[in-house]
Amino acid sequence: MNQRRLRDAFGRFATGVTVVTCATSDGGRHGATVNAFTAVSLEPALCQVTLTRQSKACGHLTDAPFAVNILAADQIDTAWHFAGRPAHPGPEWSDGPLGPVLTGAAATISCRPWRTYDGGDHLIVIGEVAEAEVTDREPLLFHAGTFRHLGRRDAGTHWGACLDSPESGWFTGAPSFTAMHADRATSRAS
């Protein structure tokens, strides 16, 4: 597989922009810009971030609490700061419930370490959400190698018309899962 083509294909999926923050073993603060963030489960409350194995953040997150700071639309400088282009002065920090967090984020999700999985050249880190803080600030987006902002709302049909609606579908927190039957899967494939 051509890596450039794969990167371009992955880049067609618009994502939010986060900075994963944690304390270092010497009491300092560390952050890394990450756009590979996913909500995993409501019960238990879990989310995941995926980090390059060579990143310093991977070493700091070993069995350590962390925060996922979902950046606001005006925090492009913060995204660049933690992606390797430091700004002076740097972003503002504050003390979160489990460790350091960034001020001014659209949302902050504080996590305890839950599981870590092999993800090839990345490490998949799952955190158990201890606390979430949400603001009314618009999020920063990333698409096709560029930072973006939300556009106007589509006046069309609400998400609730879909079976995957967060209010009524896969995120209801239902304790059971109805699997697709093999005979239906076979008939759909024909």
Distance CA 85, CA 36 (A): 19
Beta-bridge mates of residue 102: 93
The model's pTM is: 0.78
Contact 44, 60 (CB under 8 A): no
Distance CA 67, CA 99 (A): 7
Q: Which CATH number fits domain 3-156: 1.20.120.80, 2.30.30.90, 3.40.50.1970, 2.30.110.10?
A: 2.30.110.10
pLDDT at 73 over 80: yes
Among the residues of the chain, which ranges form H helices?
A: 3-11, 56-60, 76-81, 182-189
pLDDT at 100 over 80: yes
Tokens of 138: 């618009």
| Segment 24-58, tens digit of pLDDT | 888 889 999 988 899 999 999 999 998 876 776 66
Length of the chain: 190
Please give the C-alpha separations between residue 75 and each of 82, 113, 129, 169, in angstroms, as whole numbers. Answer: 11, 26, 23, 32
Please give the C-alpha separations between residue 12 and each of 38, 59, 71, 113, in angstroms, as whole numbers. Answer: 17, 30, 20, 30
| Average pLDDT value for the chain | 83
Q: Where are the domains of the chain?
A: 3-156
